[in-house]
Amino acid sequence: MTPKEVRKLNDEELDVEIERMKRRHFELRTQAVTEKIEDTSQFARIKKDIARLMTERNARRRAAATEA
């Protein structure tokens, strides 16, 4: 997910996407324990996407707080 795509999401979609990514990260971690994962780069990619989404969410909240 690119930063441009993240900026296009509204606040509700951001929250939904964050939860979906966190669930996917958890599923990958459990798969790593129970079976062999072929593409281990998924871990880093998902963690970066989560961080990108949370950064945008926090920036929007800060901007809304300074406006109020």
User: Could you report the per-residue pLDDT of 37-60, keeping only the tens digit for each?
Assistant: 888 999 999 999 999 999 999 999
Question: Total domain count for the chain?
Answer: 1
Q: Give the domain range for residue 19.
A: 3-67
Q: What is the pLDDT of residue 36?
A: 86
- CA-nearest of 66, 59, 56, 67 to 8 is 56
- CA-nearest of 31, 18, 10, 11 to 1 is 18
Q: Please tell me the pTM assigned to this model.
A: 0.89
Q: Assign 4 a pLDDT band (cuts: 50, 70, 90).
A: very high
